[in-house]
């Protein structure tokens, strides 16, 4: 009996300790702030770029042309070596997109310039990487609107003029789609606890991933729109004029805050963001991917399926009127 009593006492002691450990472990887990929340709080407390009037940071080719002799303007061309050699803006540097963060950190002094302008083929990839650099704290970085397509017609013929289209304009809907209830947020692990350290790791991962992996073409979307959670990045009036089937409207410079509609985005489905040109949306895609969502950009935006409507309404519809004949270095 004494042995039985001893065993019972030991059993209750072990059970008590086990339960106590579980309670403490659960409490500790509940009190742990996720890396996502740390990062989002930091970004929102430090300018909240994506939800501010500073986004998108786009300047025209006219402004770039007028400042070619201005030493406070610095142009970085992220196109391929072959296209850069074919023709580029005078004094532009040719830097691979994947090397941009390292270049800014170690090979140049960004604060020396009033404006650092990223240039690509169409303005979309430059906008994406400008967004990442802005989130890294470089608030003097801009992308050139329409990319080199606005500089000379032969560049436009291989980008914007090649991909504007109206073949799916009759498939848009005008019915408004309601945002879902707020849900969970993404989970990612860098192993860091400080916001700046988490941000650095996430930025390094973002620059290591080619922008082309975030591009989704219009015909693919219209064939199976249900495969995506489609975020229309337009004003409500523009959205009501017509949007991709199933698209939900998100207000520019406002909707992707943790205090507004950020948590309505799904974590189990790719978020397709689109605007008129793919340039404003590229900034959003950069932000969402940085904080852990799986986000993609509709190539050439709504110009890829309703170009004529955009031109008629003056909503950044691309045409030859946007193309200049500025000189290049060959």
**CA dihedral sign of residues 279, 284, 287, 293:** negative
The CB density around residue 92, as the number of other CB atoms within 10 Å, is 20
User: Does the pTM exceed 0.85?
Assistant: yes
Quick check: 214 and 285 in contact, CB under 8 A? Answer: yes
DSSP state of 243: B
Domain ranges (residues) in the chain: 49-163, 169-313
| CATH class of residue range 49-163 | alpha beta
pLDDT tens readout for residues 195-210:
999 999 999 999 999 9
CA separation for the pair 258, 184 (Å, rounded): 11
For the domain covering 169-313, report its CATH number. 3.40.250.10
| Buried/exposed code over 204-226 (b: 16+ C-beta within 10 A; e: otherwise) | eebbeeebeebbbebeebbeebe
List the chain pLDDT tens, one digit each, 330 residues. 444 444 444 444 344 444 444 434 333 334 467 999 999 999 999 999 999 999 999 999 999 999 999 999 999 999 999 999 999 999 999 999 999 999 999 999 999 999 999 999 999 999 999 999 999 999 999 999 999 999 999 999 999 999 999 999 999 999 999 999 999 999 999 999 999 999 999 999 999 999 999 999 999 999 999 999 999 999 999 999 999 999 999 999 999 999 999 999 999 999 999 999 999 999 999 999 999 999 999 999 999 999 999 999 999 999 999 999 999 999
* Helical axes 195-208 vs 124-135, angle rounded to 10°: 160
* 49-163 and 169-313, same CATH topology: yes
């Amino acid at each position: 009996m004494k042995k039985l009593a001893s065993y019972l006492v030991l059993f209750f002691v072990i059970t008590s300790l086990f339960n106590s450990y579980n309670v403490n472990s659960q409490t500790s887990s509940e009190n742990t702030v996720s890396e996502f929340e740390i990062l989002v709080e930091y970004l929102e407390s430090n300018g909240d770029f994506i939800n501010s009037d500073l986004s998108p940071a786009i300047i025209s080719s006219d402004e770039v042309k007028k400042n070619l002799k201005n030493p406070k303007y610095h142009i970085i061309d992220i196109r391929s070596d072959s296209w850069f050699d074919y023709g580029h803006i005078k004094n532009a540097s040719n830097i691979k997109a994947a090397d941009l963060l390292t270049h800014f950190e170690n090979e140049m002094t960004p604060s020396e310039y009033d404006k650092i302008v990223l240039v690509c083929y169409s303005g979309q990839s430059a906008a994406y990487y400008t967004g990442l650099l802005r989130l890294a704290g470089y608030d003097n970085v801009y992308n050139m609107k329409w990319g080199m397509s606005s500089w000379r017609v032969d560049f436009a013929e291989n980008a914007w003029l090649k991909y504007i289209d109206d073949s799916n304009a009759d498939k848009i809907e005008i019915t408004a789609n309601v945002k879902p209830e707020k849900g969970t947020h993404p989970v990612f692990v860098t192993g860091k606890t400080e916001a700046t350290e988490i941000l650095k790791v996430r930025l390094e991962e973002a620059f290591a991933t080619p922008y082309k992996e975030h591009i989704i073409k219009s015909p693919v979307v219209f064939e199976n729109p249900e495969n995506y959670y489609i975020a229309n990045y337009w004003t409500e009036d523009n959205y009501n004029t017509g949007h991709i089937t199933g698209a939900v409207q998100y207000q520019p410079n406002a909707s992707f805050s943790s205090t507004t509609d950020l948590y309505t985005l799904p974590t189990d489905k790719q978020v397709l963001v689109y605007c008129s040109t793919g340039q404003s949306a590229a900034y959003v895609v950069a932000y969402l991917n940085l904080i852990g969502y799986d986000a993609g950009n509709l190539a050439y935006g709504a110009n890829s399926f309703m170009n004529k409507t955009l031109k008629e309404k003056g909503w950044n519809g691309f045409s030859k009127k946007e193309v200049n004949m500025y000189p290049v270095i060959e």
